[in-house]
Amino acid sequence: MPGETTPSPRTVRARAASQFESAVTALTELDGGEVGTVYRLDFADRASVVAKVGDTPLTVEARMLRSLAAESDLPVPTVYDATDDLLFMAYVEGDGAFTPAVERDIADHLAALHDVTAERSGFPFDTLSGPYRLPNPWTDSWVEFFREHRLLDAAEAAATEGTLPPADAERVDALAADLEAILREPDAPALVHGDVWRENVVVRDGAVRAFLDPAVYYGHPEVELAYVALFDSFGDAFFDRYADRRGIEDGFFETRATAYGVFPLLEHVRFFGRDYLPRLRESLTQLGY
């Protein structure tokens, strides 16, 4: 539910009516999303709109969506307006049917996204992953970027907040020190969505209609695939098609996917609490730490 500082449904209706100069006929809370609250707004004389409210600065989410729309062909909702506490964007209808054909379509879209590259890892501005800031300073080495601005940044925050015990933080530090021997530098850092799982992909009639809730930056495209693999979001149809389009290098599934997965597991430890510690520890053990 919205926090005390976020707009109430009544306020959302009023601001929507003013923004779109049309009477709101219905406001319906939608499922999905761990951060903020999302509503569908129906109007008397225009297409439906999504309103998202939350305590995180939604202007950053709007900026990420607009960046994806400008820099790639990835389908994302059109952003109409955004303030820090309220985001208006186009409503995209879905049917939730993740067939093998849909998984192949997702792979096609992500392969095309990963063809958009930069000279260095990072992004023009700091972004967000859920409620957490993602620092994105331009960095020549991808391994250094992932170590300093993803793995260690998340581990330090979790330790400071008290969700990551000192012994586990030491294991993450040991992994971070060895990343040069585990990860690979990309040919060129690729634009990644950063948070691809089923709840963030709208599908309908056997095809992708929109990708939601990005956490964008330029990095190794394997980090995107590792996130998909970590939560079993899609199956063989996805990975086989992606491999056909861009290739997946040897050793990814055996080692690197697990190493990349430590970062989102740290985020889950921060957000959901210590229930995710066993899975984090299992990954670290699998990597030899």
- Enumerate the active-site residues: 195
Q: Give the DSSP H or E segment for 217.
A: strand 217-219
Rg of the Cα atoms in the chain: 19
Q: What is the DSSP letter of 54?
A: -
- CA atoms of 127 and 105, how far apart (whole Å): 26
- CA atoms of 266 and 164, how far apart (whole Å): 8
- CA atoms of 242 and 284, how far apart (whole Å): 27
DSSP per residue, 67-101: HHHHH-----PPEEEEETTEEEEE---------HH
- CA atoms of 85 and 9, how far apart (whole Å): 13
Distances (CA, A) of 272 to 55, 102, 158, 237: 17, 30, 11, 30
- CA atoms of 127 and 33, how far apart (whole Å): 17
Q: Roughly how many angstroms between the first and final C-alpha of the chain, as a whole number?
A: 39
Burial of 232 (0-12, 13-18, 19+ CB in 10 A): exposed
